[in-house]
A and B are shown apart, each in its own frame.
Chain A
Amino acid sequence: MDLNRLVAYSLRIGVFASALLSMLGLLLWAAGGFNGFAVVSGSAIVSALSSAFMGSDSGIIYLAIGILIATPVFRVAISAVYFVNAGDRKYVLISLAVLSMLIFALVSGYAG
């Protein structure tokens, strides 16, 4: 499969999954009587994500947000693998540079 189609599919699946989960989260919120949501930060986001699997409405929306943010990151990772296979060293380096900055953003944001 060529890079164009690979990238297109992964982007579509990520956004679709995220939009569906957002919808599910909002429906559960409506079913529960529109209760207020707590906005969480840092390591509390990890517990919010795990609460999604227990059917928590805000947890499911946090999961949707997480999947959405991961979608372009995943796209860069696929591109890196593709360029490795194509033997294009310049673009392997470029993809890895972008990927490491994205990981830095996550790690530094998590740390504070």
Chain B
Amino acid sequence: MLGPVDVLVILLVSIIAGLVGALFGLGGGVLIIPFLTLVEGVPVPLAVGASIVSVVATSSASAATYVQDHLTNLRLGMFLEIGTVAGAITGAFVAVFLPPSALFVLFGLILLYATIVMIRARGIDFPDNVMPDRLSRILALGSQYEDHSLKRVVKYEVTRTPVTVFVGYLAGIVSGLLGVGGGIINVPTMNLVSKIPVKVASATSNFMIGVTAAASASVYLLRGDVHPLLAAPLIIGVAGGALIGTRVLKVTPPTRVKVAFGVLLAVISLLMILKGFSLPVVL
């Protein structure tokens, strides 16, 4: 039974989740799911349902700012969405067949993977001499953006596009299963595999997440897994937090962003894995 105190606490936590989500190109679900399940004791399907709705809010709110700043690669985003949306629908339908403990462990493992990839990825922020692949040339995926911390225009090409589309499909499945945006998988892949600068990868992933989450959110909503009293404070908080978060990304250096990101994810992933193995995780 959800009371006014729960609703108020969820509202405050979601403001923080929205901020962090916008900073790291995530939907914020990464923090909301552990909070709802570990702290509030919400059953997994309802936590995922509420989280995926809030992911739509975070993504749309922060994506608007990045898009206006021309940080988002709209063509690349639209193209990769084919994979992420197909995956999200797959994930949302498969979710009902998996036990909650499996979802906890999967959540933890995926976060841990993302943490390792992001920490190792430091230093290849602005790849040079990238040769676009055939698909990338046909679809004119390469672009440029103005880097505010470097105070110059950065041109970039997109390579190994098919790999990133396929990983996008997998990220979509994870999103539909776990109620996260999938940015934790998309951003490192776009940066490491396709050589897209991390700020563009982050902004474009954020942009894609809105549509990806909308696909699985509609499945959860119609299935009856979206509780209005969980969704409402999340929407309000996350939208507010995301609006502030996008202002910060413009001035924070990429390395510090990633290290902060990594430490946070590692802690959360361990807690979720412990919960999956039915160890009494009390917060």
Contacts and interface: CB of A to CB of B under 8 A. Distances in A.
Interface of A: 3-5, 7-9, 11-12, 14-16, 18-19, 22-23, 25-26, 29-30, 34, 36-37, 39-42, 45, 58, 61-62, 64-66, 68-73, 75-76, 79, 90-91, 94-95, 97-98, 101-102, 104-106, 108-110
B222 A104 contact: no
A98 B67 contact: no
B138 interface: yes
A69 B63 contact: no
Given A68-B57, A73-B214, A90 B222 contact: no
A68 B231 CA distance: 11
Residue from A3, A25, A98 with most neighbouring chain B CB atoms (10 Å): A98
B232 A25 contact: yes
Interface of B: 1-4, 7, 46, 53, 56-57, 59-61, 63-65, 67-68, 70, 72, 74-75, 78-79, 81-82, 85-86, 88-89, 92-93, 138-139, 210-211, 213-219, 221-229, 231-233, 235-236, 239-240
B53 A105 contact: no
A104 B89 contact: yes
Contact of A102 (B78, B85, B231): B85
A109 B60 contact: no
A108 to B, nearest CB: 7
A19 B223 CA distance: 23
Contacts, number: 175
B4 to A, nearest CB: 5
A60 to B, nearest CB: 9
Contact of A8 (B68, B86, B227): B68
A22 B235 contact: yes
A23 B223 CA distance: 24
